[in-house]
Structure 1
Amino acid sequence: MNGIGRPVRREAGGFMSGVGSVFRGLGWVARHPRWWLFGLVPALIAFVLYAVALVWLGTHAGDLAEWATPFADDWGWRDAFRTFVGILIFVGGLALAVLTYAAVTLAIGEPFYEKLSEKVEEDLGGLPGAVDAPFWRSLGRSIRDSVVTLYYVLLLTIPLFVLGFVPVIGQTVVPVLGAIVSGFFLSVELTALPLERRGIPRKQRFALLRADKGATLGFGVVLFLAFMVPLVAVVLMPAAVAGAAMLVRERLLPPQRT
């Protein structure tokens, strides 16, 4: 991308470059443990909120299934059917938790992760002319962008969730497509901070990430698979923020050389 104009296609090897950004982010927080602890605070807060919500969902899934299936009151196999629906409700809630964890954590920890991301860029040489938006404007942007991203996530993942019950396809193709879709949008969320710092609005951020799908997916898919393990998601969140800053700086928008 020239400035904040049209995105340009990148050379091959992008996927491994994206994967490398994850490990470079891990390396950075390992060298800066104080910043890792700093970034751990909002991740822990979000984890507790999600844990409470999932426990509530697990204990009330049967009641929700009964409420959602009044038409099954007279069925002889009503209980078995509602047990199945309850399981679907909980699995759907768990999948939604994985997909939205990064967005919610970033919204909760906006000032934490903004500082962490700035520190990474400072270590890499700084960013002259960075846009310094007020906290409340940044928070509003974060919430608004997260809602838009969630809309697209649900638009794509709900059909995949339904297809997951199709024999063979649901156990092979669908999980791969789900990881790709989820990984892309995870990259969208995590790169929002460094791209906003460069004054790039949401639509252009999407275009930039689509233009380098390899790096975007390499970064996002690896983190999505790791985030499937709840405690790993908490521990990795500061590294993910650091890696996103590196991905933007080193791959998506490398500094112009004169």
Structure 2
Amino acid sequence: MKSFFTSLAYPFRGVGYFLGRPVLWKYFAAAFAINVVLFVLLTILFLKYRVVLVDWVTPDRFWKWARVAIEWIFTGIIAILGLFLFTIVGNLLASPFLDAMTERILADLGETLPPSRGPLRAFLRALRNQSLKLLFFGAVQLLLLLLWVIPVVGLLHPPLSALLTILSLGFEYVDYPLDARQLPVPRRLEWMVAHPGATLAYGLVLFPFFLIPFIGYAFLPLAVAGAALLVHDIDSPKKSG
């Protein structure tokens, strides 16, 4: 198993690998363009209907100061939820391009992969896989909430929840090369359990980048490239033939 500290370098190795291969840049352009267009559309909708939504949750009988306070709080909540929704939808829409890029990288590294599924099947598979991953990590987060009912032990919830968030982020990207090998979701989760240090380290490096929207969008294909290198170096299957 790759050590935690060794895996910290792979996001940056992915950047170098990607920049040195212009043939991959078209995938970057497609994924980035999709995310930018989606972000602009959601921002326009948010700005257009923000006042209507605030008026709906704050009737006229509210004091003016209360309406202003609620408006700012509500705006912040909607913005955070919108960013979360955008991240999920953006990744789904970009998945056919990122899948194709991952397959290209793994093939260049010498792996023999199953036949490509095509854009539509790749999108539908990504939709199903994202749903299963959300259910899995969401269920674990809900279980962690039970710690709050235990005196003193409840203090462990914030660090454990943050750890799980970083682990799930790392898995989000190492999942691309695992999916390119067409492993079922349970097998991919087994891979994460077998290599927790590598998955956690990868997510830890990515986490600050994805807190900044446009930086995160630009880094998305680079993160996928680094994940392909990491997974290949850990357990690349023997090339057949």
Shift of 1:185: 2.4
Q: Name the structure 1 match of 2:154.
A: none
Could you tell me which amino acid in structure 1 is paired with residue 204 of structure 2?
V
Greater shift in the superposed pair: 107-116 or 202-211: 107-116
| More moved, 190-199 vs 72-81 | 72-81
Q: Say which of 166, 172, 176 aligns to 1:183.
A: 166
> Take 1:182 and 1:146, find their aligned partners in 2: how far apart are those partners?
15
State how far apart, in whole Å, the 1-side matches of 2:37 and 2:68 are.
Answer: 32
Residue 104 of structure 2 is aligned to residue 119 of structure 1:
yes
Does the C-alpha gap of structure 1 residues 111 and 88 become closer, same or farther in structure 2, counting only changes over 3 Å? closer
Aligned: 1:222 with 2:210: no
Letter in 1 for 2:131: V
CA distance in 1, matches of 2:194, 2:50: 41
1:57-68 mapped onto 2 (5 Å cutoff): 57-68=46-57
TM-score (norm 1): 0.72
Return the alpha-carbon distance in structure 2 between the equivalents of residues 184 and 208 of structure 1.
Answer: 13
Indicate conservation of the 8 Å contact 1:184/1:217, yes or no: yes
Identity of aligned residues (%): 26
Q: Distance in 2 between matches of 1:177 and 1:67?
A: 37
- 2:68 maps to what in 1? 80
Superimposed CA distance per residue, residues 77-104 of structure 1 (whole angstroms, 9 cap, x where no aligned partner): 531342243233234225515xx52x43
- Secondary structure (helix, strand or coil) at the match of 1:134 reads coil
Change in Cα spacing, 1:83 to 1:178, as seen in structure 2 (3 Å) is farther
- Aligned pair count? 228
- Normalising by structure 2, report the TM-score: 0.77
- Distance in 2 between the 1:57 and 1:150 partners? 25
1:130-171 Cα offsets, whole Å, 9 max, x none, are 2225223322110111233344566649x99xx9xxxxxxxx
After superposition, the CA RMSD in angstroms is: 3.4
Cα deviation, residue 216, structure 1: 0.7
After TM superposition, the structure 1 = structure 2 runs for residues 29-178 of structure 1, keeping only pairs within 5 Å, are 29-69=18-58, 73-74=61-62, 77-97=65-85, 101=87, 103-124=88-109, 126-128=110-112, 130-135=113-118, 136-152=120-136, 156=141, 174=158
Shift of 1:74: 4.4
Candidates 179, 182, 197, aligned match of 1:199: 182
Cα separation, partners in 2 of 1:177 and 1:225, compared to 1, 3 Å: farther
Letter in 1 for 2:198: A
